[in-house]
Amino acid sequence: MRGPAVIRVAVWLPLLVVASTACEKVLGIHTLDELPVGAGGAAAQASGSGTMATSGAGGATASSAASSGATGATATSGTTSTGTGGVVCTHYVFLTNNTYAGDFNKADPNGADALCTAEAKAGSLTGTWKAVISDATTPANKRITVTGNVCLADDGIKKPSTTLVSDVNAWWLGPHKLPIDHTAGGTKPDDGVYPYVWTGTKFDGSASGVDCSSWKITTPPAAGTYGYHDKTADYWLDSKGQIDGCQNNRRLYCISQ
C-alpha cells in the first residue's frame, strides 16, 4: 500500500511547481531578487547582514552594510555635479579682499590689474585678471572682454557654478542675478554703509570722466566714480553722479579674461 502513495506524490509534485510558477507570471508576482530596477523605479533587497537601496536613472545610488558582528557600519554615496543648470562659465568675477586708495599705488589701470592678479593668486585662482575700471583713455567696456557666461568666482570655481549674467549686454546693463560681493577666497566683506568699489565708469561701461585723474592722484579734491557691491542693477557699477574722495580706500571688481 505504501508504494503506490509514494509514486502518486512524486508525480504530482512537479505539476504543483509548474502551476505555481504559471500563477506568479499571470498575477505579476515577483520574488525580492526579481524586483525591477530602472528609470523612476527602485529595488530594495534585505538580508540578515545589511540593506541595499538602488534608484534608477535620475536618482542616486547608495548602499550600506552592517554585520551583526561588526562594530560599525559603512556607507557610500555618489553624486555628479556639472554646475547649476550645467552651465559652462566663460568668465569669473570677484570682489577684492583688500581696499585701495584711488591711485592704485601711483600706477595706471594696469596697476589695478596687477592687484586683481595678486588677489586671485592668493585665492588659489589662476588665469588672466583685469580690474573693471575706466580711465581718461580707455572705458571699461573696451578694457574688458565679455564673450559668454559670467559666473561668481567663489561659486563657479570652488563650488557648482552660479551664472551672474549670460552675455555682454547683461554684464554692463544688468540686472545681475546676484551681487558681486565675495572675494577670491570666498569671504564676504562687511563694509557697512560704504560698500563702495572704484570704477570710474557709467552704468553702460563707458567712462564717467571722474577717475582720480586716471587713478594717479589721491590729494583732495580728486574724486572718482564708484559702484556698490551690494547691488545687482546699474548701481553695481555707477554711483549716478555721486563721487568719492580718492584718498579713501575702496575695493575693486576683478574679472577673468
Segment 32-44, tens digit of pLDDT: 333 333 333 333 3
Looking at the fold, whether 102 and 214 belong to one and the same domain comes out as: yes
Indicate if 55 and 174 belong to the same structural domain.
Answer: no
The 10 Å Cβ neighbour count of residue 252 is 24
145 and 51, same structural domain? no
Q: What is the pLDDT of residue 122?
A: 94
Q: What percentage of residues in the chain have a pLDDT greater than 70?
A: 62
Q: pLDDT value at position 61?
A: 32
166 & 69 share domain:
no
Which of the listed residues 52, 78, 104 is the one where a domain comes to its end? 78
pLDDT at position 86, please? 64
Verify that 95 and 52 share a domain, yes or no.
no
**45 vs 236: which has the higher pLDDT:** 236
Domain carrying residue 57: 2-78
Amino acid at 121: K
Average pLDDT over residues 193-198: 97
Q: Which of 78, 98, 122 marks a domain boundary?
A: 78
Return d(Cα 29, Cα 38) in angstroms, integer.
Answer: 18
- Using the 3D structure, point to which of 56, 78, 100 is the last residue of a domain: 78
Give the CATH number for residue 208.
3.10.100.10
3-state DSSP assignment of residue 103: coil
| Position 191 confidence tier, pLDDT thresholds 50, 70, 90 | very high
Could you tell me which residue, 77 or 12, shows the higher pLDDT?
12
pLDDT at residue number 7 = 37
Q: What pLDDT does residue 25 have?
A: 40
Task: Tell me if 225 sits within 8 A of 200, measured CB to CB.
Answer: yes
pLDDT above 60 (res 168) = yes
Check: CB of residue 205 under 8 Å from CB of residue 139.
Answer: yes
* 16 and 67 fall within a common domain: yes
Q: How confident is the model at residue 221 (pLDDT cuts 50, 70, 90)?
A: very high
Of the chain, the percentage scoring pLDDT greater than 90 comes to 56
> In the prediction, which pLDDT does 163 show?
86
pLDDT of residue 68: 33
pLDDT category, 218, cuts 50, 70, 90?
very high
Q: How many domains does the chain have?
A: 2
One-letter amino acid of 75: A
Q: Taking a C-beta distance cutoff of 8 angstroms, is the pair 138, 131 a contact? A: no
Residue 88's closest CA among 33, 134, 153, 150? Answer: 150
Whose CA is closest to 181, among 249, 97, 123, 239?
97
Q: Which residue matches cell numbers 557697512?
A: 192
Q: Are 71 and 91 in a shared domain?
A: no
| Max CA distance (Å), the chain | 124
64 and 110 housed in the same domain: no
Q: What is the mean pLDDT of residues 234-254?
A: 97
What's the CA gap between 63 and 65, in Å, rounded?
A: 7
Q: Is 242's pLDDT higher than 90? A: yes
Q: Which of 26-30, 104-108, 159-163 has the lowest mean pLDDT?
A: 26-30
84 vs 127 pLDDT, higher one: 127
Q: Which amino acid is at 51?
A: T
**pTM for this structure?**
0.66
